[in-house]
Amino acid sequence: MSDRDATLAWLATDDAVVAARRLVRRYSLQIEPEDLVSQTRITLLERMSRRTAPLVGDDVQKAAIRFAARCMGNVAIDNARKMVRDQQQQVELANLLPQRASTEDHVEAAVFIEQLTSRVNEIVREGSTCPGCQQEVVFAAATEVLQLVLIEGASGDDAARDNAWFDDAIESVIDRTSPGSSQLAAARRKRRVRCKHCVMELLGSALRRMGYRRG
């Protein structure tokens, strides 16, 4: 059995699912263990296609399992880092987006939102959003978040824009605009997590184009 076949064979076992479940718990990931296994399979195929040296070890099967398990751990860590980046972007957006303001300040806020929306349009037209998500859904969710900010500012509704606010705002429009509303709850949750990340990346990229930087 080749190294490639041995690593993929382990991913098809119950042991791989148990390992994925343990990693999901350890890093509090917002994905199912089976999703982590699928992501690991994709990563493994890419790595094995570039690998020229055989796995180190007298027992090919044991070496393949160790290699696949390390790869799964790295994929889990990447997911955890992505979650942290999303949370940081949510905090940054909450601090940058206008809060409730006077009439004069609301005009400035409207200009800010208009400029940010324009940058979002530019990025979407360039086709630089995630290829795994529907561009229309990501764009609709991003623009609706901006419109909600503006409406709340005009109405005086200045509820704190924490992670939960962004979650509710983004997930509601994803549910309305995404096809397959009859999907299982797990599938809907997976789509929400993936699309929410893309929305936050899109808004963060638009802010950077306007000159905002971390720090």
Q: What is the pLDDT of residue 168?
A: 76
Q: Which one of 23, 50, 80 terminates a domain?
A: 80
Residues 200, 86: contact at Cβ < 8 Å? yes
Q: Is the pLDDT of residue 2 over 50?
A: yes
Domain final residue pick, 80, 113, 133: 80
Do residues 26 and 73 share a domain? Answer: yes
- Which is more confident, 199 or 178? 199
Stretch 94-119: mean pLDDT, rounded?
66
pLDDT tens column, 17-57: 999 999 999 988 888 899 899 999 999 998 888 877 767 66
The total number of structural domains that make up the chain = 2
Supply the pLDDT for residue 49.
82
Q: Is the dihedral of CA 82, 88, 91, 97 positive or negative?
A: negative
In a domain, 214, yes or no: no
Over residues 150-165, the mean pLDDT reads: 57
* Mean pLDDT across 146-172: 64
pLDDT at 76 over 90: yes
pTM above 0.85, yes or no: no
Q: Max Cα separation, the chain?
A: 74
Q: Mean pLDDT score of the chain, rounded to an integer?
A: 76
pLDDT tens digits for range 119-149: 888 888 887 656 566 777 788 778 887 877 6
Q: What is the pLDDT of residue 51?
A: 77
Domain boundary among 31, 46, 80: 80
| pLDDT at residue 7 is higher than 80 | yes
Q: Which of 10-24, 108-122, 172-186, 191-205 has the highest mean pLDDT?
A: 10-24
Predicted confidence band of residue 213 (pLDDT cuts 50, 70, 90): low
What is the C-alpha to C-alpha distance for residues 11 and 59, in angstroms, rounded to an integer? Answer: 17
Range of the domain at 12: 3-80
In a domain? residue 90: no
Clarify whether residues 110 and 189 are in a common domain: yes
Provide the pLDDT for residue 210.
82
If pLDDT is split at 50, 70 and 90, which confidence band does 170 have?
A: confident
Q: Does one domain contain both 196 and 114?
A: yes
pLDDT band at 83 (very low <50, low <70, confident <90, very high): confident
